[in-house]
Amino acid sequence: MSSTILYTIISLSATGAISAVILYFVAQRFKVYEDPRIDQVEDALPAANCGGCGYAGCRNFAEACVKNENLSGLFCTVGGNETMSKVASILGVDAVSQDPKVAVVRCAGSYDKRPRINIYDGPSSCVLQSILYPGDTGCPYGCLGHGDCVNACDFDAIHMDLKTGLPVVIDEKCTACNACVLACPKHIIELRKKNKKDRKIFVCCINEEKGAIAKKSCEVACIGCGKCVKACAYDAITLENYLAYIDPVKCVLCRKCVGVCPTNSIHEINFPPRKNLDGTDATVDVEIVENL
């Protein structure tokens, strides 16, 4: 009885020892060299695996950083400049810095501002609805409201406002990973430069139709009147295809354009309430902020 146990132990140990020797030489022979810096860079990255950098995940991005030897064209928007300077110090190259950005929804066509003219009863998906037809309102450019952007967001930074039927971005959570921008079939969401105290001024409309047609389908559409272009002293506003666009880089947040817009389609967000000459609050602008 005891000899059976003894033989078993001896034979198994021998098999183990021989296998260990074979495996050692095999491992030596087929060894794959991996740059240890890849692991270091990966540890420095936020591990969100969001794909915002254009690579499949953080590991993939780390490999690309190490392989490229310089960081041009490589940027992790989630980690931002801080992470990228860490990565640069690991690799011993110059860091690339970018202005932080934030996603902005450029449609204000809420239920009360943009009447529904037909009923869509298919599956709830913006991409699918946009394949079938332009949408259930008169505006062929506007938000469809099924929340493809919400599903695309890995950071819980965008959600649908049930009162307006429009998506709302939470600035603190948004990492500018670009996922919602790609998910939106109407190309409503734009990444814009993040300003001090999350202040924003932008044209909240992408309707390129002539003024009368745009206004008919939506109360708060940009009608391309050009008043904001004249009001801007910094040459930041351009008008193309009956649609104004505020360049986030040139804009100095002076708010002159907001007051002149006849349809209130230029939105100012996170600004203190504006004082009129007699010291009272100008409530019209506050109302817009509340709507969003």
Q: Which residues make up the interface to another protein (CB under 8 A)?
A: 117-118, 121-123, 125, 127-128, 131-134, 136, 140, 209
Q: Which is nearer to another protein, 212 or 249 (CB)?
A: 212
Residues 106, 206: contact at Cβ < 8 Å? yes
Q: Which is nearer to another protein, 81 or 130 (CB)?
A: 130
Closest CA to 102 of 25, 155, 161: 155
Write down the least CB distance from residue 140 to another protein, Å.
6
Write down the least CB distance from residue 121 to another protein, Å.
5
Write down the least CB distance from residue 284 to another protein, Å.
32
Q: Which is nearer to another protein, 42 or 209 (CB)?
A: 209
Give the distance, in angstroms, between the CA of residue 89 and the centroid of all CA atoms in the same chain.
Answer: 27
Write down the least CB distance from residue 214 to another protein, Å.
12
Q: Which is nearer to another protein, 80 or 138 (CB)?
A: 138
Residue 74, sorted as left (phi over 0), alpha (psi -120 to 50) or beta, turns out to be beta
The b/e string for 119-128 (b: 16+ C-beta within 10 A; e otherwise) is ebeeeeebee
Q: Which is nearer to another protein, 63 or 136 (CB)?
A: 136
Q: Which is nearer to another protein, 83 or 207 (CB)?
A: 207
- Measure the CA angle with vertex 265, ends 263 and 268; round to 5°: 125
Cα Rg of the chain, angstroms: 28
Write down the least CB distance from residue 134 to another protein, Å.
5
- Measure the CA angle with vertex 75, ends 73 and 77; round to 5°: 145
Q: Is 265 exposed, middle or buried (0-12, 13-18, 19+ CB in 10 A)?
A: buried
Write down the least CB distance from residue 126 to another protein, Å.
10
Write down the least CB distance from residue 147 to another protein, Å.
14
Q: Which is nearer to another protein, 117 or 289 (CB)?
A: 117
Q: Which is nearer to another protein, 136 or 268 (CB)?
A: 136
Nearest-10 crossing angle of helices 58-68, 80-91: 50
Q: Which run of H or E residues covers position 199? A: none
Strands, E, within 29-153: which ranges?
Answer: 101-105
Alpha helices, DSSP H, located in 92-177: 126-132, 148-152
Joined tokens for residue 12: 């198994």
What's the rounded Cα separation, in Å, for the pair 218 and 71?
45
Write down the least CB distance from residue 209 to another protein, Å.
8
